[in-house]
């Protein structure tokens, strides 16, 4: 009986082992199928992202980051500088290189290039704001509040600034620090040096401002002096201001 029992047990074990092997092979086959499917999916995704026209550039939109309107010429300049080709896969776009090329345009102060999936690239620029004009030509050269000179068609009505180099930066600094009401009266700023800045007013009078130091103090003193009519107002030493060719108090 023991021998017969032993034979029966051995047969059952063989069947269990065969079933185990079959199950193991089945799991291996499933894993291979899943792995193959994943490889195919990854390949399709890579093709979609890097090579297919499905995720390629169809629009390059140029906007002003603060909502100002850009001229057709400015938009064309930005698109040319960015050098982003239509139908180029979005993933291949070098946004940093494009941004650097655009910010090198003289009238652009800052830029941000972003992908707008699936098919749009947005180039947002911050334009330099003309603060003064260098000449009377239109379009002419303008200067922004940081003393950067660039070409602009929006210089009409801005004060003329006659200065170069470090003197130009100081002249712009003086103009930028004037109270709004006082700045509106300035038609020209002249600076032979950083310590010899003069303002010509709409009234025909001249203000000897001196250096760009103590702007608030000088502005307050000047506003007090402007209560009297004079040809020259000197606030270069605001503790001891003077006037020349004074004609008495202004008429009320």
Tell me which residues of the chain have a pLDDT lower than 70: 1-27, 30, 36, 40, 43-51, 136-139, 248, 250-252
Please tell me the CATH code under which domain 159-249 is placed. 3.40.50.11690
- What is the model's pLDDT at position 192? 94
- What is the model's pLDDT at position 142? 93
pLDDT in tens, 177-226: 999 999 999 999 999 999 999 999 999 999 999 999 999 999 999 999 99
Residue 146: which H helix or E strand, with range?
none
CA distances (Å), origin 187, targets 84, 99, 132, 145, 202: 43, 36, 10, 16, 6
Strand pairing category for 108-116 and 120-127: antiparallel
Q: Please, what is the average pLDDT of the chain?
A: 86
Residue 163: which H helix or E strand, with range?
none
The fourth-level CATH superfamily of domain 59-127 is membrane protein fhac (3.10.20.310)
Residue among 190, 185, 194, 242 at smallest CA distance from 218: 242
**Residue 125 forms beta bridges with which residues?**
64, 111
pLDDT in tens, 238-247: 999 999 988 7
């Amino acid at each position: 009986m023991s021998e017969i029992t032993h034979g029966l047990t051995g047969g059952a074990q063989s069947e269990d082992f065969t079933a185990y092997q079959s199950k193991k092979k089945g799991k291996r086959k499933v894993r291979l199928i899943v792995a193959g499917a994943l490889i195919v999916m990854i390949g399709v995704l890579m093709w979609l992202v890097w090579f297919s026209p499905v995720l390629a550039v169809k629009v390059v939109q140029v906007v002003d980051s603060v909502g100002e309107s850009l001229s057709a010429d400015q938009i064309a300049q930005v698109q040319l500088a960015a050098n982003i080709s239509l139908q180029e896969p979005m993933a291949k776009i070098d946004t940093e290189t494009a941004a650097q090329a655009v910010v090198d345009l003289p009238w652009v102060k800052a830029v941000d290039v972003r992908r707008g999936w699936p098919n749009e690239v947005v180039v947002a620029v911050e334009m330099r704001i003309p603060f003064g004009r260098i000449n009377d030509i239109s379009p002419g050269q303008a200067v922004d509040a940081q003393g950067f000179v660039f070409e602009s068609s929006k210089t009409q009505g801005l004060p003329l600034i006659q200065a170069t180099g470090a003197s130009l930066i100081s002249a712009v600094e003086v103009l930028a620090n004037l109270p709004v009401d006082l700045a509106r009266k300035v038609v020209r700023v002249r600076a032979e040096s950083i310590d010899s800045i003069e303002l010509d007013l709409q009234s025909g009078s001249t203000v000897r401002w001196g250096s760009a130091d103590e702007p608030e103090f000088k502005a307050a003193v000047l506003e007090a002096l402007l209560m009297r009519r004079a040809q020259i107002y000197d606030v270069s030493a605001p503790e001891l201001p003077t006037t020349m060719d004074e004609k008495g108090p202004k008429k009320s």
